Amino acid sequence: MRHFDHIDTTHRKHLFYRHPRRFERHDDPEVLAVALGATLYSPATRPVLADDIEKAAGRGVMSMVVCLEDAIADADVAAGEANAVAQLRRLHERGAEVPLLFVRIRRPGQIGDLIDRLGAAARLVTGFVLPKFAPATGAAFLDALEETAARTGLRLLAMPVIESPEAVYAETRTEMLNDVARLLAKRRERILAVRLGATDMSAAYGLRRPPDLTIYDIRPVAGVICDVVNILGRADGSGFVVTGPVWEYFSAGERMFKPQLRRSPFEAQQAAPLRQRLITSDLDGLIREVHLDKANGLTGKTVIHPSHVAAVHALSVVTHEEYCDAADILGVAGGGAMASSYANKMNEAKPHRAWAERLMLRAQVFGVAAEGVTFVELLEAAGSR
């Protein structure tokens, strides 16, 4: 697998200074966690799930979640399980190229049961998404994952979701997150990334984010995200990749505020129609939120519509300026400050080192844009199929 492989080779050569590297599902979890990119969720009850997964792979999707939890009704769980098993078996029989596949479950017992029912098709499953993860219930999920992996010989990874009320409410949040950190540290080799359930977090306050605001404008939820990054996303070796919360809009209604995309970058690339399409689909809000995700220490994003993927991936490409800064910082031993290669900022070798190391890992997976290539060009190319 490789990001942007669905783009014509000649065009890709124009876009990238350093091309994205290939990766595969058995690579180091540190690499896979960044490679997830925009993780597309799909209800397990979709009658054409196998076709959806294959089409998504052809359009640049690198990770998908087949959801047996909140995406389907309680009465449909058994039918969803049966459909997911049948559809993944169909993909396996076809020999289809598929993204990194995960199953979001409701209870620990589903892990072993689904893997057994999948048979040879279980090798398509990279891992499981563990909902409403908390110290009291999380150990049972991780035990079931460990037991199933040991019994079958499969490498199964976990993505716990922080979204339960005790993770949200101020009086229980810190203790709960510290307990989660200790629990995850004991199973570090199984933890791919920590996901944020912003919809459930909002529900704890009876809130829903409107499409013209980002999750960071919803202050009670923004506070939770801040604490999750503080405790579970540290750059000192104890943290994990924390992924961006879901963007749940894909068609614009009446707008209260001005569009959040400046005209000039699009006009410079003669891409004004692209800007209008983004605004019409409320994707200008998604683009702003992804910028804020990155600034706040989050990597990748949960999405619910294929139209979201190109924006997340285009914004994940490392700019030529960022790459030059990171290379300069990592090329210095012993500390010190220097002017950036672009002569527009100061780089400090010690304080900026952790940032530079993380950025270089993203550069490995998503590539480095050629000098002068903008997000607009990357987005137009990524969404061209």
Question: Residue 26 belongs to what H/E stretch?
Answer: none
Beta strands in 44-202 (DSSP E): 63-67, 100-104, 125-130, 157-162, 195-196
Residue 304 CA to chain centroid, in angstroms? 12
74 known member of a binding site: no
CA separation for the pair 313, 4 (Å, rounded): 9
Asked if 205 and 224 count as a contact pair (C-beta separation under 8 A), the reply is no
Characterize the bridge pairing of strands 63-67 and 100-104. Answer: parallel
End-to-end CA distance of the chain: 17
> If 0-12 CB within 10 Å is exposed, 13-18 middle and 19+ buried, where does residue 162 land?
buried
User: Contact at 8 Å (CB) between 195 and 182?
Assistant: no
State the Cα angle at 77 between 75 and 79, rounded to 5°.
95
Strand partners, 158: 128, 191
The beta-strand segments (E) located in the chain are 16-18, 38-43, 63-67, 100-104, 125-130, 157-162, 195-196, 244-247, 301-303, 337-339, 346-348, 368-369
Q: Helix, strand, or coil here: 318?
A: strand
d(CA 65, CA 202): 21
Contacts of 192 (CB under 8 A, 6+ apart): 29, 32, 33, 36, 126, 127, 157, 158, 159, 241
Distance, CA of 173 to CA of 227 (rounded, Å): 8
Give the phi and the psi of residue 160 in degrees, each rounded to 5: -70, 145
Binding site, annotated residues for Mg(2+): 200
